[in-house]
Structure 1
């Protein structure tokens, strides 16, 4: 920050990287994203380096990350620059090199961060014909999950649970399922949440699944609902989120506000 040439170069870099409208959009997304609920799901060696005089990212923020990411290493270095190549960058590179070349900690248990999709056919209701119709379309729902590169966890006569690597895939799959069943007269509801799961013998269990099931109970026929964490992870996806009531999820960790989700209108 004390080098006039560097300041001019960086200002030109910023001006050439985005239009004013794009810069505003990026800024809005960045201040809305909140991933605090899933920091505990990071199970890789993590190094957090903080400059004490950084006015863009406060030292308290770096300390928060270090506290909530399991086993994270935290280093505070003197200096005022925010950019990684600024003041004291040689020492910073030394810290990174030492961290990367050091001995890796023992691998934790098989825990994975996944997006859970919970889908339920809600109509027709109680008649034998209705039950047969629902069962007939569960296979079609599973086909949509496979097309979206999801993984079926379990199913019953009314719907299924599936896991995805990406939140947008899960939401798009839920929309495709809903749209494909409309001509049959069947209505579906769906819930999407992200969190840690335990993987054992090919099966997934965990609070993310429990919460998705509880969230599903608050979805109306034809509705797709998500947690706030999902909303915060998909900025720029073209999806539209609408805040709604019904946040009670039985005290499962990471509950928070629920959102209805749909595609942006053309």
Structure 2
């Protein structure tokens, strides 16, 4: 907090909240109790909110919790505040309300430029949905690549990223990791504008990513020309695989296979 009044108010709040001995005890409880071993035993809806630049709790710690608590919802805010009444207070309240009630407050849609990754997984034994069977591995790779899962069903996963390179790297990591368990993964990546309403995404970019997935072979990553042009210099290599007609776009829509060995 840079505001002098807020700083003085917070200092008074701390002085009046606990004695020095109680403050030390609270600090030790928060810093020394290790709950890592019991995280897999948590089977209730869990919301984890983390500030990227939090000076008290590193974002890696928040991501660790989200990766090891099954079904946990992880939200990361830009900023540095640790206190919940700081720079993201309104958004924190909205996210808590959405988590408890299942719906965000009514708000107009927001258009965002995102990289959309579509995944299709096959090969899981005994008819088990591979997306559910490997949910923790998928969640870990998405967190590492700063991706956000927005849909999952019948072996398919849809996720969005801020950068196209990260989405391709995530597709490579998921493909290579799940292949060790006998699961083949097909992937497609496109970048474009989507409309976000709460936690829901819609738009042509998502539809195009799903359409591209139809052209991917097992173990293959397909990317649109837009993605190829935006990741120049990344070290990734692309080979033209074909063209398709896309509603609302003039002419043919070329797509490419990504060399995932780069």
TM-score bin (small chain): 0.5 to 0.7
2:237 to 230, 240, 250: 240
Does the aligned pair in 2 maintain the 1:207–1:253 contact within 8 Å?
Answer: no
Please give the alpha-carbon distance, in whole angstroms, between the structure 2 residues aligned to 1:138 and 1:189: 16
Please give the alpha-carbon distance, in whole angstroms, between the structure 2 residues aligned to 1:143 and 1:252: 36
SS in 1 for 2:134: helix
Residue equivalent to 2:77: none
In the TM superposition, what is the alpha-carbon distance from 1:182 to its structure 2 partner? 1.3
Please give the alpha-carbon distance, in whole angstroms, between the structure 1 residues aligned to 2:136 and 2:156: 9
Please give the alpha-carbon distance, in whole angstroms, between the structure 1 residues aligned to 2:135 and 2:240: 29
1:226 to 201, 223, 226: 223
In the TM superposition, what is the alpha-carbon distance from 1:193 to its structure 2 partner? 0.1
SS in 2 for 1:149: coil
1:251 to 243, 247, 250: 247
Does the aligned pair in 2 maintain the 1:110–1:198 contact within 8 Å?
Answer: yes
Q: Does 1:192 align with 2:192?
A: no
Please give the alpha-carbon distance, in whole angstroms, between the structure 1 residues aligned to 2:191 and 2:144: 20
Please give the alpha-carbon distance, in whole angstroms, between the structure 2 residues aligned to 1:213 and 1:243: 18
Please give the alpha-carbon distance, in whole angstroms, between the structure 1 residues aligned to 2:161 and 2:248: 21
Does the aligned pair in 2 maintain the 1:113–1:196 contact within 8 Å?
Answer: yes
Please give the alpha-carbon distance, in whole angstroms, between the structure 2 residues aligned to 1:225 and 1:175: 11
Residue equivalent to 1:173: 170
Measured on the aligned residues, the alpha-carbon RMSD in Å equals 2.1
Greater RCO (CA < 8 Å, at least 6 residues apart) = 1
Does the aligned pair in 1 maintain the 2:238–2:258 contact within 8 Å?
Answer: yes
Compute the TM-score of the two structures, normalised by the length of structure 2. Answer: 0.54
Pick closer, same or farther for the CA change 1:132–1:235 going to 2, 3 Å. closer
In the TM superposition, what is the alpha-carbon distance from 1:156 to its structure 2 partner? 1.4
Pick closer, same or farther for the CA change 1:132–1:230 going to 2, 3 Å. closer
Residue equivalent to 2:142: 145
Q: Does 1:114 align with 2:110?
A: no
In the TM superposition, what is the alpha-carbon distance from 1:122 to its structure 2 partner? 2.6
Does the aligned pair in 1 maintain the 2:121–2:130 contact within 8 Å?
Answer: no
SS in 1 for 2:211: helix
SS in 2 for 1:213: helix
2:200 to 198, 203, 223: 203
In the TM superposition, what is the alpha-carbon distance from 1:135 to its structure 2 partner? 2.9
Does the aligned pair in 1 maintain the 2:212–2:222 contact within 8 Å?
Answer: yes
Please give the alpha-carbon distance, in whole angstroms, between the structure 1 residues aligned to 2:170 and 2:128: 23
Q: What does the per-residue CA deviation read over 1:49-100, in whole Å, with 9 as the maximum and x for residues that have no partner?
A: xxxxxxxxxxxxxxxxxxxxxxxxxxxxxxxxxxxxxxxxxxxxxxxxxxxx
Gaps (5+ residues) in structure 1?
A: 1-107
In the TM superposition, what is the alpha-carbon distance from 1:109 to its structure 2 partner? 5.6
In the TM superposition, what is the alpha-carbon distance from 1:110 to its structure 2 partner? 1.4
Residue equivalent to 2:211: 214
Does the aligned pair in 2 maintain the 1:226–1:259 contact within 8 Å?
Answer: yes
Please give the alpha-carbon distance, in whole angstroms, between the structure 1 residues aligned to 2:137 and 2:117: 15
SS in 1 for 2:128: helix
Pick closer, same or farther for the CA change 1:230–1:132 going to 2, 3 Å. closer
In the TM superposition, what is the alpha-carbon distance from 1:251 to its structure 2 partner? 2.5
Q: Does 1:135 align with 2:114?
A: no
1:163 to 160, 164, 167: 160
Gaps (5+ residues) in structure 2?
A: 1-107
